[in-house]
């Protein structure tokens, strides 16, 4: 069972790397926000999976904080960059 969990963790890492690449290369502002948002949700899943892999599943509080801060960061970006030009 731990091999499956390890494989899942590595796969999520790869997905995070791709989301990071999107955040690096993004042409428009909104692509960058999208990359950050996907990166955030994937880290939540990564923490849950690696918690079980390492046998210490009681660190899920951090996953909750991650999801929360990711959402608030997203709302803050939208609130303060509502009227700016999308193409930098």
Partner 1 sequence: MAEFIDLVLLAMLALTALRIIFLKDLFAVVMLFGIYSFLSALIFVNLDAVDVAFTEASVGAGISTVLMLVTLAMTGRKEKQSTHSTLLPLFVVLVTGAALIYGTLDMPPFGHPDNPVHQHVAPRYIEESPKEVGLPNMVTSVLASYRGFDTLGETVVVFSALIGVLSLLGVRRKKKKDLESGLETHSVLHVVSKIIIPLVILFALYVQFHGDFGPGGGFQAGVIAAAAFILYALVLGLPKAFAVVGPKFLQWMASFGVLLYASVGLYSMYKGGHFLDYNKLAADPIAGQHYGIIIIELGVGITVFAVMLNIFYAFGSQAERSNVQ
Partner 2 sequence: MDFLDIVSSMLLLAGVFFGFSGAVGLFRFPDFFTRVHAASVTDSIAAILIIGGLLLQTSFDLNTAKLVFILLFLLVTSPTASHALAKSARHGGLLTLAESSSQDKQESAK
Partner 3 sequence: MSFIFDYYNYWIVVFLMMAGFYIVISANNLVKKIVGLNIFQTSVFMLYISMGKVTGGTAPIVVEGVTQYSNPLPHVLILTAIVVGVATTAVGLSLIVRIKQAYGTVEENEFENKDDAI
**Which residues bind to partner 3, rule: CB under 8 A?**
54-56, 58-59
Contacts of 38 (CB under 8 A, 6+ apart): 19, 22
Q: Is 50 in the site for partner 2 (CB under 8 A)?
A: no
Instruction: Determine the Cα–Cα distance for residues 46 and 13; give it in Å rounded to an integer.
Output: 7
3-state SS assignment for residue 87: strand
CB of 56 to partner 3, least distance (A): 6
Q: Does 45 bind partner 2 (CB under 8 A)?
A: yes
C-alpha distances out from residue 68 to 3, 32, 45, 71, Å = 30, 19, 13, 5
Please report, as ranges, the residues that interact with partner 2 according to CB under 8 A.
1, 4-5, 7-8, 11-12, 14-15, 18-19, 21-22, 28-31, 33-35, 37-38, 41-42, 44-45, 48-49, 52, 57-58, 60-61, 63-64, 67-68, 70-71, 74-75, 78, 81-86
């Amino acid at each position: 069972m731990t091999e499956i969990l390890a494989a899942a963790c590595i796969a999520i890492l790869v997905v995070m790397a791709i989301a990071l690449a999107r955040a690096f290369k993004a042409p428009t502002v909104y692509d960058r926000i999208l990359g950050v948002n996907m990166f955030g949700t994937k880290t939540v899943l990564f923490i849950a999976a690696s918690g079980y892999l390492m046998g210490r599943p009681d660190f899920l509080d951090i996953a909750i904080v991650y999801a929360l801060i990711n959402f608030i960061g997203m709302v803050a970006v939208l609130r303060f960059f509502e009227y700016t030009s999308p193409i930098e």
